[in-house]
Structure 1
Amino acid sequence: MTQLPILIIGGAGKTGARVNTLLRGRGLTTRPVSRSTEIPFDWNQPETWPSALEGISAAYITYQPDLAVEGAAEAVAALAGLAREKNLERLVLLSGRGEPGAQRAEEVLQAADVPWTVVRASWFNQNFSEGYLLESVLAGEVALPAGAVAEPFVDANDIAEVVTAALTDPRHAGRLYEVTGPRALTFAEAVAEISHAAGRSIHYRRISSEEFASGLRQAGLTEDLVSLLDELFAVVLDGRNSAVTYGVEEALDRAPRDFSDYARGAAANGAWRI
C-alpha cells in the first residue's frame, strides 16, 4: 500500500528542510509547502490550506513569523480543525520556549482530537550561520540587546531528528519535548566560541533595545517584525529559558549536540569564510 505524503509547512526553513531530507532518506514521500510552492500554503490565506492538506497522512507545523504574534493560536486551531476533518494521523508542532502565545497554540492543538506532539525550542545554533546573525558574524561584530543571561542554544539538526521521530513513530504521540543544547551560554560566550572555531576576530557588543530597533528599521524590517524581535530579546531572553532541558534525550535516547561541535563543523564547512 502506497504511503500518503507527510506535509511540511515551511519546507525550506531551517528545521523544515532538514526534516524533509531525513524523511526522504527513509524512503518516505513528503510535501514541503510554502507560499511559493506548486501547491501553495500561506498562513495569511486560509483558502490555500485545504489543497495543501489533501491526501496527506501527517503534518509538521511551523508558524511564520512566530507563534508569539497575535492571531497565531487561532490560525493553528483552524488548521488543526481542518486536519481533523481530513483524518490526519498526527500533527507535530514546533513551539517556542517561554512564549505565552506559543503555549496557547499548543493548547488549541492538543484540543483538536488529532494525535499530536509538541517540540519546544528557542534559539537555534544555526541563527549564527544560516539566519539573520550570519551577516554580523561575517562583519566581525554581533551587536544585540542581550547581556549576561545564558541561553542553552539548540541545534536545528537535533530539532529535525526529534520532529522526524515524532512524525514516524506513534510512541511519541501526546508528548511535549522541550529541547535545548547540553549547556547554556551567553551570546558573548557563543560568539567567542565562533571566533575561536573560525580562526578570526569576531566580537560581541551589547546594545540598547532602542539601538537594536533602530537598526532593524534601517534594514527595512516592518514594524511588526521589529516589535517581535524586540520582544524576543526584551521579554523571552530574561532568564526564563536558561535552564537546560532533556527533550532530545527523551525523544532520541542520546545527548544533544554541543555548541562547540556545531561551531567547529560550521567553520569547517565554510559558513563564516570571507
Structure 2
Amino acid sequence: MTNTPILILGGQGKTGRRVAEQLTSQQVPVRLASRSSEQRFDWYDDSTWSAAVAGVDTAYLAPPVGPTGLAQAGTFVKQAAAEGLRRVVLLSGRGVGAPGREFAVYQGSLDLENAVKVSGVDWTIVRPSWFAQNFSEDFLHEAVLAGQIRLPAGDGAEPWIDVNDVAEVMAAALLDTRHVGQGYSLSGPRTLTLTQVAAELSHAIGRPIGYVALEPEQFVAELVGYGAPQEDAESLRDLFAVIRNHRSEYTSDGVQQVLGRAPRDFSDWARTAARTGAWSA
C-alpha cells in the first residue's frame, strides 16, 4: 500500500467527504483540501494550488458550480499536471458530452472534461445524475424542513442517485487502473418527478412535504434573495431546465458497470435518512 496520499479537492462537500471515508476505510491515506480544511485550497485563489498538490500524484476533483469556477478548475488541472499530478478522477454531470444531448448549460463542464483529457494525466470521468442528498444536506434541506420544495423543474423527472453510490464508484476509480480513460454515467434505478419526490419524502418523514413548480426567473430571484451569487443561481436554473424539458427521463448503468450491483432506490435512501435524523428538528 502506497503512503502517498490521494488529494480530495472539495473534501468537505457531499461527495468529497464520502470519497475520503471510502478510501480511509481501505487504509488509503488522503489529503483533504478546501477553503475550511487544514490544507487550504480555493479554486478562486491560485496561490493555494501548489501546496495542495505537492507530494501527491492522484486527485479527486469536485469542481465549483458556474462557468467561472469550471474555467478555474480547468486552469488548475493544467498547472497541477505541470507540477507532477498524474491521475485525476473528475466529478462531472450526467449528459455532459453525450451525443444527442448537447445543452449549452453543460458547456463549462464539457470544457473542463476536455481540459482534463488533454492535460497529460490519466483520467476517469464520473457523471452522476442529481443527488438524493440535495434534499437532506444544504441545498434543499431547509426547504424539506419547511415542508415545501420550490424548484423550476416543472413536471419533469430525474433518476436521483444516492451520493454514497457515487462515492463508492469514485473510490473504485481512484484505486483501480482499469478505470483509466473511462467515462461513467450514473443514476438511480428509476425516475421521479418532484411531485413524486415530495410524496416519497412525506412518507419517509411522516409529515406532508409539497412541491411548488416555480418559473425559472422566480427561482433565480429567490436564490439571489437568500444570498446566492447571481451566476450560481442562473447555473442551477439552467441545470433544472434539463429536467423541466423532460431531457433527463432515462437511467444510466454506471453503478452496475463499476460496482457490479444496482444503485440504491430513492425510497430506501429516504427511509434511512429519516431514521438517522436528517430532518429532525
Q: Distance in 2 between matches of 1:81 and 1:172?
A: 21
Query: Shift of the alpha carbon at 1:52?
Result: 0.4
- Structure 1 alignment gaps of length 5 or more: none
Map 1:102-181 → 2, pairs under 5 A: 102-181=109-188
Whole-angstrom CA distance in 2 between matches of 1:71 and 1:124: 20
Amino acid at match of 1:69: P
Distance in 1 of aligned mates of 2:89 and 2:112: 12
Deviation of the 1:235 alpha carbon: 4.7
User: Is residue 186 of structure 1 aligned with residue 182 of structure 2?
Assistant: no
Q: What is the Cα deviation at residue 202 of structure 1?
A: 1.1
Residue 217 of structure 1 deviates from its aligned partner by 2.5
Amino-acid identity (%): 46
Q: Residues 228, 174 of structure 1: CA spacing in aligned structure 2 closer, same or farther, 3 A cutoff?
A: same
Match of 1:81 among 78, 81, 93: 78
In structure 1, the residue matched to 2:212 is 205
Report how far residue 71 of structure 1 moved.
Answer: 5.8
Instruction: Report the alpha carbon displacement of residue 12 of structure 1 after superposing the two structures with TM.
Output: 0.5
Quote the residue 1:69 is aligned against: 67
Segment drifting more, 228-237 vs 251-260: 228-237
Shift of 1:100: 2.5
CA offsets per residue over residues 89-114 of structure 1, 9 Å max, x none?
A: 41000001232321221111111111
What residue identity is the alignment partner of 2:171? T
Q: CA deviation at 1:2?
A: 4.9
CA contact (8 A) 1:77 1:112 kept: no
Q: Give the equivalent residue in structure 2 for 1:247.
A: 254
Q: Which residue of 2 aligns with 1:96?
A: 93
Q: Which residue of 1 aligns with 2:34?
A: 34
Cα root mean square deviation, aligned:
1.6
TM-score after normalising by structure 1: 0.93
Equivalent position of 1:46 in the other structure: 46
Which whole-Å CA distance do the structure 2 matches of 1:93 and 1:226 have between them? 23
The 2-side partners of 1:213 and 1:2 are apart by 46
Equivalent-residue separation in structure 2 for 1:252 and 1:106 (angstroms): 23
Shift in CA distance, 243/167, structure 1 to aligned 2, threshold 3 Å: same
Counterpart amino acid of residue 35 in structure 2:
R
Q: CA deviation at 1:47?
A: 1.8
Change (3 A) 1:235 1:2: closer
Q: Residue in 1 aligned with 2:100? A: none
C-alpha change, 1:237 and 1:158, in structure 2 (3 Å) is farther
- SS of corresponding position for 1:32: strand
- SS of equivalent to 1:133: helix
SS at match of 1:27: coil
In structure 2, C-alpha distance between the alignment counterparts of 1:178 and 1:239, rounded to whole Å: 18
Q: Distance in 2 between matches of 1:215 and 1:75?
A: 27
- Structure 2 CA distance, aligned partners of 1:139 and 1:224? 26
Which secondary structure does the structure 1 equivalent of 2:134 belong to?
helix
TM-fit CA distance, 1:45: 1.1
- 1:200 shift after superposition: 1.0
Alignment: residue pair count: 271
Aligned to 1:221: 228
Q: TM-score, normalised by structure 2?
A: 0.91
Cα deviation 1:18-38 (Å, max 9, x = unaligned): 001111111111001011222
Per mean C-alpha deviation after superposition, the further-off stretch among 32-41 and 55-64 is 32-41
Residue 254 of structure 1 aligns to a residue in which SS? Answer: coil
- 3-state DSSP class of the match of 1:132? helix
* Rounded Cα–Cα distance in structure 2 between residues aligned with 1:20 and 1:60: 10
Q: Which amino acid in 2 is paired with 1:148?
A: D
- Displacement of 1:242 in angstroms is 1.9
